[in-house]
Structure 1
Amino acid sequence: MGMLEDFELLKKNNFKLLPYGWAKTKMEAHLIAKHICYPVALKIISDEITHKTDVGGVKVGIRNDQALALAYDEIMENAKGHPIKGVLVQKMARKGIELIIGGKKDPQFGHMIILGLGGVYVEIFRDISARLCPINEKDVKEMVEELKSHPILEGARGQKGINLEGLGGLMLATCKFMRKEDLKELDLNPVIFDSDGYDIVDARFSR
């Protein structure tokens, strides 16, 4: 499955997503950005590129038409040599703590859900916790407490913690979603949380 198909499947299953659109040309990117309102991010759409950031295929914090045109040209230059379907124009996410909510299907035990510190550093820090689906609110609380980064999530040094109720709801919904769609693997990464809620920034599935 590709990025667009993954987002559409999430929408079909009532997940809350940032406004976005698929642009095949620079003009289409401008029109989408005006429709969803700046600031926006641009992301390359290519079946060959899994880690878009590594190839310079992501530009964030774009605040006007001039910056969008420059970002679009840079992405196209960086992605030369790859088959390109266009770019995803996405409303910029809130600022907050990046988490990954992932999952996979074990042939013997069934679906498993994973929670961890997310973003581009997920493979470096390996701060994750896992449970077999289905899960409940108690499981979510325990998974948060098992993370080395849990003091940050709960609010440390006078900082506000993340919206743990929103995290719990999203994780319960993700477990149900994986089982309903019988997904082999799932990555919602990053999901950016603050004290008010969350934004799903990127998603990848396989059946």
Structure 2
Amino acid sequence: MERWPALELASTIRHDGDGGVADDLATPQSTTDWLRRQDVTGVTVDERLRSEIVELRRAVRALFAQAVSPAPPSRADAHRLMPADQALDHLNAAAARDAIVPQLEWPPDGPPRTRVRSAEPSAEARLIAMLARAAIDFLSGPQRERLRACHAPRCVRYFVQSHGRQEWCKPSCGNRARAARHYQRHHAKP
């Protein structure tokens, strides 16, 4: 299964299993844990960095909502989405925080090769820029056309549709949606 870092970031807001919404970035420790699951190491997450990642997530989710339009956005934060133009500016500014500079290396005994150097030494700035660039790649790529908001009861995720009839992000959401429809049909008042 293909992984998209931008979708992983957007999915840090999820259904908690009890009818509420859980936030995988609620604390610096939970943010560190999420980054480790994304194979990102060497970054110390403090409250400032956590807030920057959460604000980037807000921008990404706002742009995801625009991408799925005219379908409704995820219910997790539809009422407090960042305006699309502000989200776009925020995403682009975050991506620019780490300038990537190509360098030509040409050893005397070998062919020339390109080495990429980061112009800013901060691991935190590189992390924010990497997440923002992943969102830019995702939103400008072909998978954007297949981006959907899951509309199963209590689900708040976005997903990439893998086939034309897919309506939910995972089978458990489909089961929940079918059970809810069944309940409505059999318990509806005449």
* TM-score normalised by L of structure 1: 0.27
Relative to its length, the structure with more strand (as a share) is 1
Relative to its length, the structure with more helix (as a share) is 2
* TM-score normalised by L of structure 2: 0.29
